[in-house]
Chains A and B, each alone.
Chain A
């Protein structure tokens, strides 16, 4: 149990376009979802915390107008990279904590590889 999916698994887009990435908890309700960014051979950087029905909380230095997060239900959060540029190319990973599993467990999605040309 506790499976998190991401879609798409990879995407290539032109500079200036917007890209939406979905994160779904498949078999549990996620009170909170998190969005991370990972550069090659580097650690994960937390971008924002997403709670169902409320505005996301962004980490310092993350542009909220560029990385739009919508957490419409207890099983779905979306990250939209607006007006993407090559420097936004990265591996984006979401995670979720379950309402009935406590806050010490988070479950990661498989990640989405974004390449902006």
Chain B
């Protein structure tokens, strides 16, 4: 079956530090890949996505590249801010399948200190 493995947290960084949250997946074919962010007490928001190999998703300074050869979709940001403190979820959705039936990773909690 499909699975998503995320880097275990929590991750604590100082403001302006470089962020990487690793995500690898197992799936057949070419799934779509997503990063979602969840702020305290809120639902998830789509941060970025990529639907085919070598695509780069980007938003709000965050980036992730769909690497088919390594089955990875690592999240990166060059300079984090306190406001980036949240839980980040990597997810995959099989080809031609509604994104609502995505498989989610366990989430990585990021805390950014001033």
Contacts and interface: CB of A to CB of B under 8 A. Distances in A.
Contacts of A27: none
B106 A42 contact: yes
Interface residues of A, number: 25
B38 to A, nearest CB: 9
A3 to B, nearest CB: 11
B107 A43 contact: yes
A63 interface: no
Nearest to A50: B100
B42 interface: yes
Contact of B100 (A32, A43, A109): A32
Nearest to B97: A103
Which of B32, B93, B101, B105 counts the most A-chain CB atoms under 10 A from its CB? B101
Contacts of A103: 96-99
Given A105-B46, A110-B42, A43 B89 contact: yes
Which of B93, B97, B98 counts the most A-chain CB atoms under 10 A from its CB? B98
24 contacts: A6-B43, A41-B109, A42-B106, A43-B89, A43-B105, A43-B107, A44-B104, A46-B100, A49-B100, A49-B101, A95-B44, A97-B100, A103-B97, A103-B98, A103-B99, A104-B49, A104-B51, A105-B46, A105-B49, A106-B100, A108-B43, A108-B44, A110-B42, A111-B41
